[in-house]
Amino acid sequence: MRKLFFFFLISSQIAFAQNRNQLWKGYFSYNDVNDLTESPTKIIASTQKSLFSKNLATNELKTINTIDGLSGQDISAVYHSQEYNKTIIGHANGLMLVMNESDGRILIVPGIRDQAGITPNKKRINHFYEFEGKLYVSCDFGVVQFNLITSNFGDTYLIGPAGEEVKVFQTTILNNFIYAVTQLNGIRRANLTNANLNDFSQWQVFDPGYWSGMVTHNNQLVGTNLDNRVYRHNGSSFSLVGSLAQPGLDVRSYQNKLIVTTQNFAYVYDENLTLTNQINSNQILDITPLDFTCGTVINNILYIGTRENGIITAPLNNTSTFQILKPDGPSRNNVFAIQTTPTNKLWAVYGGYNIYYAPDESTHGISKFTDTGWLNIPYEETLESNSLVRITVNPKDENNVFFSSFHDGLLEFQDDVAIAKYDYTTPNGPESVSDVAPSDPYKSTRVNGAAFDRAGNLWFNNSRVNNAIKVLRANGQWQSYPIEDFVTTVIEDYGRMAIDKNGTKWFVTSQNTLMGFNENVTPKFKKAFHDADIGNALPGNARAIAIDNRNQIWVGTMGGLRVLSSVDRFMGEDVELETNPIIIMDDGLAQELLYEQFITDIAVDGANNKWIGTADSGVFLLSPNGQETLQRFTRENSPLPSNSINDIEINAQTGEVFFATTAGLVSFKGTATKGNDDLSQVYVYPNPVRPEFYGTVKIANLINKANVKITDIEGNLVYEATSEGGTLEWDTKAFGKYRVASGVYMIFISSEDGVETKVKKVMIVR
């Protein structure tokens, strides 16, 4: 016997209002639909992290994701209450969100998630059923009652034979009896007029069989059984309605239609349970594979949720004409790597490997975002290249793009079309892992980190082979460099690569952590310390590397962060590559920054700040020297859909910082941009600054290290700073103390050497 008590407190927990997070953008995939809910004027679909809807009267397509206030938790069920104009979102961890459709406000309802005494991994919400102002919430442990008017929880029903937790797929109500379809204990029934339903003994076995779902349709019970059949109850027993080709995944009744969905079939019955339509996924040409998840009918239009293509629609009177309904987006949410281009395009790939560098051999293709939307290139158009893990754009021709495959070598694109794949069959090109053991028929050509040098040569690492470093020269010639004389074993995996000002190729590895290579010096390879008795030991298995604006190398590993003081150390004779942790003071105690954090990526912005991605702790923004944490973004305090970060990329021109996570791609509008070559394009925004504005004034398109002085119209200095990168912010305060008065303010800008100058004005209205 349990009861959930949550009163006014929960109504105060309001999530981000829509459009409130102006600094954030979402780039989500809406392909994988796991549930549908309906009204006469709207169809709403849920995906893992987001919702989308279509207004059937206006055809308006609307998306709702973490930018708008969703939690970032995995969505498991969605329901729209027409009477109360609310959409309820259920999650795999028991969290509920209640969205008021009239104003978009989202109420966080954590009652089930936070309820003590329930097995933590059994709080998943499976289904909602509305009756007389109450929702009956089917969960993996039982049924919970929720009041749609007060947003309070009522009783919790644990309805196992001895009052234990049982998984409930679905509930329905007929003639004041509530029916609960359980996983292992059949259909259990109770009388709603009974005031003691939280006593498990009041729930009787209605049918002991194995069912997957049940609804009330035309005043009778209709359900899907695990014997792949549909039954109705005639008041005394079940009778057969029809057979299914596969197990039923979803059954629902709406507008006198019964819709049953299996993996590849959708069945539509009328109010008399006569089968009127049967849709096979094979009928929907040019879309393969195609897996159904759920279905409904609104105004005689069939809507089928799918795993790969959003919603498939067709009129019931012409089910040979299908349309795809989904918002524009990338093909998947689990983005492994991203890359921007000079003209603000963004590439994304979905391959990957695990913590042991074992490739996933995925076949998810490539996506590209431009100002016209998303271009999704399927696996079949990538010369069947799988496990795509990195993107390298040719700086001399951004339409020439190379994709590293951790299984199939190197893929080259020109103008969005695959033109070549370089693998173990390419003379002098990438080599296969099996080349180490020629008797092994398995071929896996593992290319990862890649970068162009100033001469237009493409360098990359090739894992688990002797010729670890390879180059495709600008003239089309290949060259390889062996590593066997510098390491104890060549059976090693390599990660990201960066090229410094001296032409040294730096890359992270699974065993030797950080290595450098320069073909013009002796020795060609050097490695940083990985011995606890010498220098400051690097934790094993490095994953991230970045060269900052002061030519320091920042290395992220599975166990923390290290810094190599200068890239020039590689060029010195007999100079040891000694790395160091960053020591900060925390409550008077010296602490190692990001101690034992699994760091997945490091990106450096125009102000030399460091954006650090982690495997399970979100994103850290560090000051140039790492001594100050400027920002911390997690799923709990920001629109990040996951704390597991795969990749970070910064648009140097706009300052937009992209975060590729395991659950979606989002961006944050940073202000640290790359410094310009001159001051000719400097501009100030917003201008004028109006009374309702409470942000900062940005002075953009500066050169690096520009001196900026701001004075009032009489020449009194109110602000002075030196830019780091291409953008500087002013909080409209006189040296940070008090807000300046209304008026025109002069902005005097000069280069570090004083040769270039620029004068701008900004008007402030209080």
130-161 pLDDT tens trace: 999 999 999 999 999 999 999 999 999 999 99
Give the Å distances, CA to CA, from 467 to 490, 520, 737.
9, 17, 60
**Beta-carbon-side half-sphere exposure of residue 627 (alpha carbons within 13 Å):** 2
DSSP tag of 113: H
Question: Reading across the β-sheet that carries 238-243, which strands appear in turn?
Answer: 211-216, 221-225, 229-233, 238-243
Tokens in use for 484?
């066997």
Judge whether residue 608 has pLDDT over 50.
yes
CA distances to 359, 602, 754 from 758, rounded to whole Å, are: 53, 34, 11
Q: What's the whole-number mean pLDDT along residues 8-15? A: 34
Q: Which residues contact 715 (CB under 8 A, 6 or more apart)?
A: 746
* pLDDT at residue number 440: 58
Sequence-distant (6+) residues with CB within 8 A of 86 are 80, 98, 99, 100, 101, 148
CA-to-CA dists, residue 20 to 23, 24, 67, 545, angstroms:
9, 9, 8, 34
Other residues' Cβ atoms within 10 Å of the Cβ of residue 222: 23
CA dist., res. 158 & res. 117, Å (int): 11
What is the C-alpha to C-alpha distance for residues 65 and 146, in angstroms, rounded to an integer? 24
pLDDT at res. 538: 54
Distance of alpha carbon 85 from alpha carbon 104, whole angstroms = 11
266-281 CB burial, b ≥16 within 10 A, e <16? bbbbeeebeeebbbeb
Sign of the alpha-carbon dihedral angle for 590, 592, 593, 597? negative
Cβ–Cβ under 8 Å, residues 493 and 357: yes
What phi-psi label fits residue 416: left (phi over 0), alpha (psi between -120 and 50 degrees) or beta? left
Task: Using the predicted structure, report yes or no on whether residue 594 has a pLDDT greater than 80.
Answer: yes
Residue 317, pLDDT > 60, answer yes
Q: Are 355 and 54 in contact (CB under 8 A)?
A: no
Q: Minimal CA–CA distance to 631: which of 653, 659, 654, 652?
A: 659
The position carrying tokens 């309904």 is: 325
| C-alpha atoms less than 13 angstroms from C-alpha of 263 in its C-beta half-sphere | 5
Find the DSSP H helices in 85-161. 111-114
**Ordered DSSP codes for 743-760:** EEEEEEEE-TTSS-EEEE
pLDDT band at residue 267, thresholds of 50, 70 and 90?
Answer: very high
> pLDDT of 428-448, one tens digit each?
999 998 654 555 567 899 999
Residue 17 above 60 pLDDT? Answer: no
DSSP 8-29: HHHHT-B-PPTT--TTEEEE--
Q: Which of the listed ranges 499-508, 590-599, 675-684 does the model predict with the highest average pLDDT?
A: 499-508
- In which band, very low, low, confident or very high, does the pLDDT at 14 lie, cut at 50, 70 and 90? very low
* Interatomic CA distance for residues 15 and 64, integer angstroms: 13
Q: Taking the model in full, what pTM does it have?
A: 0.87
Instruction: For residues 564-590, give the mean pLDDT.
Output: 88
How far is the CA of 698 from the CAs of 281, 361, 672, 723, 730, in angstroms?
Answer: 53, 45, 10, 11, 7
Alpha-carbon span 494 to 483, nearest angstrom: 12
pLDDT score, position 488: 86
Model pLDDT for residues 62-87, shown as the tens digit of each residue: 999 999 999 999 999 999 999 999 99
The count of other CB atoms within 10 Å of the CB of residue 285 is: 8
Q: Which two tokens stand for residue 711?
A: 């004075």
Report the alpha-carbon distance of residue 25 to residue 68 in Å, rounded.
Answer: 10
Q: Among 411-425, 570-584, 596-610, which is the least confidently predicted range?
A: 570-584
Check whether 21 has a pLDDT greater than 70: no
Question: How far apart are alpha carbons 528 and 116 in whole angstroms?
Answer: 49
